[in-house]
Every structure is written in C-alpha cells, then in structure tokens.
Amino acid sequence: MPFIVGMMLIDDIVLVTEDEMKHAIARLIDAEQILLEASGAASLAAVLAGKVQNPGKCAVVLSGGNIDTETLKIVLGVNESAR
C-alpha cells in the first residue's frame, strides 16, 4: 500500500552525496542551531545542491538527531591533534 501511495504522490527522486549531506548538516548548525544526522538532512542537501527542480514550493522534512561524535567532528572540521 505505501508503494502505491508513493507512486501517486512522489514527483521525483534524487540522490545526494555524503559531502552534500555533510554540507547540509553544517548549514543547519550554522543558520538554525539544529543538529541532524546525515539521512535526516538528505532532503535539504538535495535542495542546497540544486538537485530539486523548482524548489520554490517544496517541503523539506528534517528528522533524526542521532549523529555520532566522529561524524560530527568531520562535519565541523574538528582536528583532535589541535587540542
């Protein structure tokens, strides 16, 4: 049933890279002080990367704050040896 509903409502599917998701996470932290895991920021990553056609009226679902510290360090560019 969900597949049938999805086929009727989804216009397009796009793929984003890990780097595009990291960029979206960093933008959310900087602009809105929102921390998300990579998959939760994938929809925003697609919009920021210009992969969504006519994004003027679109919904971006942001979900999931289960990001591990190692990934967060990479996103923020934290270097352990700099401490």
CA distances from 77 to 26, 30, 48, 62 (A): 10, 13, 20, 22
Tell me what pLDDT residue 80 has: 59
Tell me what pLDDT residue 81 has: 55
Q: What's the predicted TM-score (pTM) here?
A: 0.79
Asked whether residue 19 is assigned to any structural domain, the reply reads yes
Tell me what pLDDT residue 4 has: 92
Tell me what pLDDT residue 11 has: 81
Asked whether residue 82 is assigned to any structural domain, the reply reads no
Asked whether residue 7 is assigned to any structural domain, the reply reads yes
Asked whether residue 39 is assigned to any structural domain, the reply reads yes
Asked whether residue 60 is assigned to any structural domain, the reply reads yes
Tell me what pLDDT residue 47 has: 93
Number of structural domains found in the chain? 1
Question: In the chain, which stretches have pLDDT less than 70?
Answer: 79-83
Asked whether residue 42 is assigned to any structural domain, the reply reads yes
Phi, psi dihedral angles at 79 (to 5 degrees) = -110, 115
Q: At which residue do the structure tokens 């003027």 appear? A: 56
